[in-house]
């Protein structure tokens, strides 16, 4: 991890200039992916100024260019999108962090990547850490926590990383898979553990410091090794599901009260059918409409179903074939209006089934009403992923969902589930974390390669156009 600052600022590419009625232009450095020779085919570029969507087009010759757009300085929160194309073929695009033209951020930079694919961020890490944890820090970027407590802040404005205060705890640090590193609503990240006891430590990027945060009610929360978790959309609280021998669901508030402590308590009248240690949890949302809840995927037991549904306002529903089926993961196939009306489709696939990596999948159809065993449809899709994926990681945009594992990258059409295996370089075999930033880019960090070595580069998923927010 000590090489992250150098790796995050290696490549200096083209520059954009927003000329304002002031004494200097706002320059935006453009960072290109590693091995970007294919982008030298670009013969035109488009620059879009948000929020109005004002666009300008330019003729260019490859990636050695500079373009300019004149705007009046104001106090609006703005961002810039840059598109590189050859004719009508989009080659790469990206979005900057939010800035204000009257008070521009110095050294502003933006990364552009190939749409619907992984691109490799430039620069190799000198000391890659396969167990690094990462989480978004709202308004600042991304915090990375190494297995020895090394902490770095990746700045979303400048695309550079800087070392921060190391996390040091009496008795040593928890194992990387004990709990999680999660984002809160006020720009910090929280290291929560729960294997032996519920504890929390918060990193504040503003003060560059770690602090212990007490948890009211922690003594009533028993150990729950391997518990799954989810953070709400506003990053104000998180849910911790089962784990160990526990079948309850714990809510942990991530906002401190008057006593400067978090609060934790088991949700009343919510009980899992099984502790489901090391399961994966996924939200199912319809913007407040009926038919919402949580899906838990995975079990190590032979007499437990592969999936468990926790409908909002209803009782837990065990569904699917009996296990063991571990490490399968789920992704929603429906977006926009389709996610608000009718049955919402959820695809759960991959993992280790009966002790063997699998390409099998389960297709759930969840109705727009409180789920029950009677109204949820489930279809088994043997071999859907073509080749086994023991630990898939999902990505998504409006056109497709994407699975990555074992050095492979494939896309599945949302409507037909047609599988397309891509030649996109995918370095990760297993492990690691993905972090989506406010620019729409999702960083894939950590893990090991197919050779069992620590992944020494970051990769970035850039969604298809129109799906960055």
Q: In what side-by-side order are the strands of the sheet with 189-193?
A: 180-183, 189-193, 199-204, 209-212
The span from the CA of 191 to the CA of 204, in Å, is 12
Q: Which pLDDT does position 61 carry in this prediction?
A: 94
The span from the CA of 422 to the CA of 385, in Å, is 13
The span from the CA of 196 to the CA of 214, in Å, is 16
- Kindly report the CA angle at 117 between 390 and 358, in degrees rounded to 5? 15
DSSP string, 290-352: SS-EEEEE-BS-TTSEEEEEEETTS--EEEEEES-EES-EEEE---GGGGTSSPEEEEEE-SE
Q: Which pLDDT does position 10 carry in this prediction?
A: 24
Q: Is the peptide bond before 385 cis (omega within 30 degrees of 0)?
A: no
Residue whose entry in the numeric block shows the structure tokens 């709202």: 138
CA of 302: how far to CAs of 274, 299, 324, in Å?
Answer: 12, 8, 5
**pLDDT digit string (tens) for the chain, length 469 residues:** 333 322 222 222 345 666 655 445 778 899 999 999 999 999 999 999 999 998 999 999 999 888 888 888 889 999 999 999 999 999 999 999 999 988 878 889 999 999 999 999 999 998 999 999 999 999 999 999 999 999 999 999 999 999 999 999 999 999 999 999 999 999 999 999 999 999 999 999 999 999 999 999 999 999 999 999 999 999 999 999 999 999 999 999 999 876 799 999 999 999 999 999 999 999 998 866 678 999 999 999 999 999 999 999 889 999 999 999 999 999 999 986 555 678 899 999 999 999 999 999 999 999 999 999 999 999 999 999 999 999 999 999 999 999 999 999 999 999 999 999 988 889 999 999 999 999 999 999 999 999 999 999 999 999 998 554 4
Q: Which pLDDT does position 4 carry in this prediction?
A: 32
The span from the CA of 435 to the CA of 121, in Å, is 14
Q: Is the peptide bond before 51 cis (omega within 30 degrees of 0)?
A: yes
Structure tokens at 430: 């297993």
Residue whose entry in the numeric block shows the structure tokens 């308590």: 265
Largest CA distance in the chain: 71
Q: Which pLDDT does position 285 carry in this prediction?
A: 87
Four-point Cα dihedral 423, 429, 433, 434, nearest 10: 10
Q: Which pLDDT does position 23 carry in this prediction?
A: 45
Structure tokens at 432: 């690691």
Q: Which pLDDT does position 5 carry in this prediction?
A: 28
How many alpha carbons lie under 13 Å from residue 198 in its C-beta half-sphere? 28
Structure tokens at 319: 């569904």
The span from the CA of 268 to the CA of 466, in Å, is 41
CB atoms within 10 A of CB 48: 17
Residue whose entry in the numeric block shows the structure tokens 């850039």: 462
- Classified as helix, coil or strand, 241 is strand
The span from the CA of 55 to the CA of 47, in Å, is 6
**Secondary element (H or E) of residue 433:** strand 433-436
Structure tokens at 411: 């896309």
Task: Look at strands 199-204 and 209-212 and give their pairing.
Answer: antiparallel
The residues that bridge with 359 in the sheet, in sequence order, are none
DSSP state of 65: -
Among candidate residues 406, 371, 374, 407, the one with its CA nearest the CA of residue 391 = 406
Query: What's phi and psi for 337, nearest 5 deg?
Result: -60, -35
Is the separation of the CB atoms in 362 and 369 below 8 Å?
Answer: no
The span from the CA of 44 to the CA of 58, in Å, is 6
Task: Look at strands 44-50 and 79-86 and give their pairing.
Answer: antiparallel
**What pTM did the predictor assign?**
0.93
- Classified as helix, coil or strand, 286 is coil
Q: In what side-by-side order are the strands of the sheet with 54-59?
A: 54-59, 44-50, 79-86, 89-95
Q: Which pLDDT does position 425 carry in this prediction?
A: 86
């Amino acid at each position: 991890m000590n090489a992250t600052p150098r790796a995050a600022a290696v490549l200096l590419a083209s520059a954009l200039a927003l000329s304002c009625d002031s004494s200097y232009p706002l320059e935006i450095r453009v960072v290109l992916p590693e091995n970007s020779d294919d982008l030298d085919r670009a013969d035109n570029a488009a620059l879009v100024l948000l929020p109005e969507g004002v666009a300008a087009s330019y003729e260019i010759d490859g990636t050695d260019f500079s373009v300019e757009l004149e705007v009046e300085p104001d106090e609006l929160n703005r961002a810039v999108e840059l598109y590189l194309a050859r004719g009508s073929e989009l080659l790469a695009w990206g979005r900057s962090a939010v800035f204000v033209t009257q008070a521009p951020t110095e050294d502003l930079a933006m990364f552009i990547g190939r749409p619907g694919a992984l691109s490799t961020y430039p620069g190799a890490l000198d000391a890659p850490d396969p167990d690094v944890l990462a989480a978004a820090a709202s308004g600042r970027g991304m915090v990375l926590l190494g297995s020895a407590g090394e902490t770095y802040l990746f700045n979303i404005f400048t695309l550079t990383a800087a070392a921060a205060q190391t996390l040091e705890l009496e008795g040593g640090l928890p194992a990387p898979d004990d709990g999680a590193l999660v984002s809160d609503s006020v720009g910090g990240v929280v290291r929560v553990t729960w294997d032996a006891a519920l504890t929390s430590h918060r990193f504040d990027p503003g003060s560059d410091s770690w602090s212990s945060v007490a948890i009211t009610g922690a003594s009533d929360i028993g150990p729950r090794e391997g518990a799954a978790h989810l953070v709400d959309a506003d990053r104000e609280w998180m849910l911790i599901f089962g784990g160990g021998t526990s079948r309850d669901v714990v809510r942990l508030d991530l906002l401190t009260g008057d006593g400067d402590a978090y609060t934790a308590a088991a949700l009343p009248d919510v009980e899992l059918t099984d502790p489901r240690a090391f399961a994966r949890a996924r939200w199912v949302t319809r913007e407040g409409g009926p038919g919402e809840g949580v899906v838990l995927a995975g079990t190590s037991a032979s007499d437990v179903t592969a999936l468990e549904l926790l409908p909002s306002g209803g009782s837990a529903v065990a569904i699917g074939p009996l296990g063991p089926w571990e490490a399968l993961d789920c992704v929603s196939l429906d977006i926009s209006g389709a996610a608000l009306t009718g049955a919402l489709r959820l695809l759960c696939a991959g993992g280790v089934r009966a002790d063997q990596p699998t390409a099998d999948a389960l297709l759930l159809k969840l109705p727009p009403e409180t789920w029950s065993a009677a109204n949820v449809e489930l279809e088994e899709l043997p071999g859907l992923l073509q080749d086994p994926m023991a630990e898939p990681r999902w990505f998504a945009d409006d056109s497709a969902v994407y699975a990555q594992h074992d050095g492979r990258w494939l896309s599945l059409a949302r409507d037909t589930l047609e599988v397309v295996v891509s030649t996109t370089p995918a370095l990760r075999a297993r492990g690691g974390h993905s972090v989506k930033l406010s620019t729409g880019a999702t960083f894939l960090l950590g893990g090991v390669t197919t050779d069992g070595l620590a992944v020494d580069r970051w990769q970035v998923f850039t969604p298809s156009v129109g799906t960055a927010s």
